[in-house]
Amino acid sequence: MFVLKNQISLEQTVKKSRFLAIAIPVDSEAAVKTALAEHSDPSANHNCYAWRVGNVYRFSDDGEPSGTAGKPIFQAMEGRQLDKTLVIVTRWFGGVLLGAGGLVRAYGGTAAACLREAELEETVASIGGTVHLSFQDLEIVRAKLTSAGMARVMAEQFDHEGCWLTLDIIEKHAEDAALLITNLTRGRSALKLDDNAAE
């Protein structure tokens, strides 16, 4: 899978209708809603979109005939193997009806042309995990996990005995990270992978 390095837009005219595609990096459904509110143009006839964040995806035809806008935009994203991406294609009607096939080509084609211009970055599969560490183990474990490139610390929650670390672990290093934690803490702490993690 790939992600966008930055936001990009592209405009084209198809039979007098103006189409503007905007591809936006997003990391959550909340970010999608914010971006849709910010980039949808109320003066346009249609603001159609598709997005994916992990296994969650949605698309909308925004009043165009069913299946003629959102799905072709999503297919353009799938063709580039994109994750954490929102693509909005806004249409200003130019007076010429495009028909169902023409709409599919216009929306999908505008999205695809925009995404061809985008700078992409390959993603690395990762899984979440948590571990409770004593104060004496915290610094060494955190330093070793991050310096070895096995995991990123996403959050820290301190209590009277130590600290809960929420980790984003590179999937191929999950076993190594668990073993590292067990060894460095002499068995006092164990990594717990999120339930959706591959075993």
pLDDT < 50: residue spans in the chain: 197-199
pLDDT computed for residue 196 by the predictor: 53
Structural domains present in the chain: 2-122 (3.30.230.30), 126-193 (3.30.70.240)
Name 164's bridge partners.
132, 157
pLDDT computed for residue 108 by the predictor: 98
pLDDT computed for residue 195 by the predictor: 72
pLDDT computed for residue 197 by the predictor: 44
Do 145 and 177 meet the contact criterion of CB atoms below 8 Å apart? yes
pLDDT computed for residue 198 by the predictor: 41
Give the three-class secondary structure for 36.
Answer: helix
Global model pTM greater than 0.75: no
CA distance 170 to 177: 9
CA distance 100 to 123: 35
Angle between the N-to-C axes of helices 135-147 and 174-184, in degrees from 0 to 180, rounded to the nearest 10: 150
Burial 113-122 (b: 16+ CB within 10 A, else e): ebbeebeeee
pLDDT tens digits along 95-134: 999 999 999 999 999 999 999 999 999 888 888 999 999 9
Give, in order, the Cα–Cα distances in Å from 81 to each of 69, 74, 77, 141: 19, 10, 6, 35
Do 141 and 184 meet the contact criterion of CB atoms below 8 Å apart? yes
**Nearest CA among 152, 197, 158 for reference residue 175:** 197
pLDDT computed for residue 199 by the predictor: 37
CA distance 59 to 61: 7
